[in-house]
Chains A and B, each alone.
Chain A
């Protein structure tokens, strides 16, 4: 059963002249109960904006122009601010990228976790504190009884991220949005955080929407992957299909440009990494034709003469938006 359904979501930004500039175009996807879906792409592709749109926390000047977001059948876009507020933290919650800026430096971590519990579960001071300590234990923070009174600056980056996860889990959400939860962390800590997320997901049965720029890293975590480019979904499908048989040139590029660690084998002499030349077109410079056109090594006349192809199914649970791939139609 689907938990979250996003149906042709369009988000725009009002620029200095007051014109609307498209940020996310026609994004549709769904997340089933207990599943992990990953949104992958470079900076500026609209991953974080999608997450913020789902939470209805978009910055000023950003508007959802059309589309529907259904959480368990309820249309989030028609809810009042008050109703939305009661959903955030309880039905859906978010782990932000930078734990140092997302935590309030003036309150102890215990207070910040307890806030969720007071708001949504109406717990009193001591009961909330007890729960906060229990949650810190769940995210494997040693000496939780003492740490509950610590301020964010007294904790290391990995610990802060664990606190963020504890906060996000406090309301037992059905949907957990994790926006690059490990980019600011060391590799050993990254591995621990990913393990922790997977473990907690097993226990709580929450669905996870994981946002990342490293396609290789999410391959084993995610059930489904959506590759975003310049605000458009250009490839979507079951995780194993996308990683083993990527069809869009951008997805292939993303997979090739990461030097993957190989164990027990001497490294080969340096061969230049497969790079994707150029960069993501900035907002406002995106035309109707394929957004990847300028960077694509396979671009042909058909790509130049026609608009961005629709996301077309090319197999069971695998869709791609590319003229050069089978099934490119408008």
Chain B
């Protein structure tokens, strides 16, 4: 497919993306005039790997660091420390033209197609823009590709001459997808790409994304708060809470045997109506909002809202441990809780 394939390390031939201990901190003012600077711990030591051609889902509440993680992978948010190995090459420290060269392999589809398109430029020009900026192909080749891309996302060729306001929300999201596809990327981040759309349109876009993935062997990072969509759409899922991954595993494992109390809370909110849901809600649905990510205290991030917290949780930050080759949990009480969870399911 590209030169990058040959550059990939032989040890992990199918891992397109390998994120190691990624940290993104934003300064958030000082504590008093001479005090030390506070930091928002947006992403605090996140590691995961994404296999080529699969979909990696990230779920969590707003403020959990899902989007920041994705933006850091795309080098659109400043990385404080950690590695982002893309196709065998650490891109965390790249700058200048090597970084620009890398950009064509990484693209993004944003949540709100109304603000992601320039209202003053024609649709065709906007799809062509990444090709122009990255210097891909000659002029006529670029026009050609724009036409092909429009057809691929299910829009007529005349759409190229229209302005964004002449499209509906779903069509605009199709334009955003066409634009992301233009430089033929390997990885596309879908940051809540269907959340702003109506349910009927959401299904159209999800089907389109899946078809493109099959045809082009695309790799997706799919950020969403809708567990129903994530369960169906993703191969691997990570649950984030306040800058940390609290549970990660294959979609099958994670949703058949979730282990972290926070995952249970999300499931309790999304479960289909019925007595099981009522029982889940009563036991697991956490109340209120997550605490502030500015200078978090030591210990587990979830401790204030966790129904199963013990003293140890307040003092020691749990590490993300494997309970199964494809399932990781960061919880001190995972093994104690497993039994009560099983009771509910049965």
A residues adjacent to B (C-beta < 8 A): 42-43, 140, 142, 156-159, 186-192, 195, 213-215, 219-220, 253-254, 257-267, 270, 272-277, 279
Q: Are B266 and A188 in contact (CB under 8 A)?
A: yes
Tell whether A276 pairs with B200 under 8 Å between CB atoms, given A187-B227, A191-B268: yes
19 CB-based A-B contacts, threshold 8 Å = A42-B198, A43-B198, A188-B265, A188-B269, A189-B61, A191-B268, A191-B269, A219-B273, A254-B200, A258-B202, A259-B233, A260-B228, A260-B272, A261-B228, A261-B255, A261-B272, A262-B231, A266-B251, A275-B200
Q: Which listed residue (B62, B228, B256, B267) contacts A266, Cβ 8 A?
A: B256
| Chain B: CB-nearest residue to A253 | B200
Check if B120 is an interface residue, CB within 8 A of chain A: no
Within 8 A of A (CB), among B190-221: 198-204, 206-207, 210-211
Bound Cα distance A42, B287 (Å)? 30
Contacts A43-B169, A220-B273 given; 4 further ones with Cβ under 8 A? A187-B227, A215-B199, A258-B203, A261-B231
Check if B96 is an interface residue, CB within 8 A of chain A: no
Q: Which listed residue (A254, A266, A270) contacts B233, Cβ 8 A?
A: A270
| Chain B: CB-nearest residue to A258 | B199
Check if B288 is an interface residue, CB within 8 A of chain A: yes
| Chain A neighbourhood of B228, CB < 8 A | 258-261
Bound Cα distance A214, B197 (Å)? 11
B residues adjacent to A (C-beta < 8 A): 61-62, 168-171, 198-204, 206-207, 210-211, 225-229, 231-233, 251-252, 255-256, 265-273, 276, 281, 285-289, 345
B238 to chain A, nearest CB (A): 16
Q: Which listed residue (B198, B207, B271) contacts A261, Cβ 8 A?
A: B271
Tell whether A265 pairs with B256 under 8 Å between CB atoms, given A43-B198, A192-B287: yes
| Chain A: CB-nearest residue to B262 | A188
B237 to chain A, nearest CB (A): 10
Q: Which listed residue (A42, A156, A220, A260) contacts B200, Cβ 8 A?
A: A42
A223 to chain B, nearest CB (A): 14
Bound Cα distance A261, B233 (Å)? 11
Bound Cα distance A214, B200 (Å)? 9
| Chain B neighbourhood of A277, CB < 8 A | 204
Q: Are B273 and A263 in contact (CB under 8 A)?
A: no
Bound Cα distance A156, B293 (Å)? 13
Bound Cα distance A42, B268 (Å)? 26
| Chain B neighbourhood of A42, CB < 8 A | 198-201
| Chain B neighbourhood of A279, CB < 8 A | 168, 170-171, 201
Q: Are A266 and B255 in contact (CB under 8 A)?
A: yes
Q: Are B203 and A264 in contact (CB under 8 A)?
A: no
| Chain B neighbourhood of A214, CB < 8 A | 199
| Chain A neighbourhood of B288, CB < 8 A | 142
| Chain B neighbourhood of A261, CB < 8 A | 227-228, 231, 255, 267, 270-272
Q: Which listed residue (B207, B256, B272, B286) contacts A273, Cβ 8 A?
A: B207
Tell whether A270 pairs with B232 under 8 Å between CB atoms, given A186-B225, A263-B271, A275-B200: yes
Q: Are B202 and A257 in contact (CB under 8 A)?
A: yes
A158 to chain B, nearest CB (A): 6
Q: Are B272 and A189 in contact (CB under 8 A)?
A: no
Q: Are B252 and A275 in contact (CB under 8 A)?
A: no
| Chain B: CB-nearest residue to A274 | B203
Bound Cα distance A275, B198 (Å)? 12
A209 to chain B, nearest CB (A): 20
B232 to chain A, nearest CB (A): 4
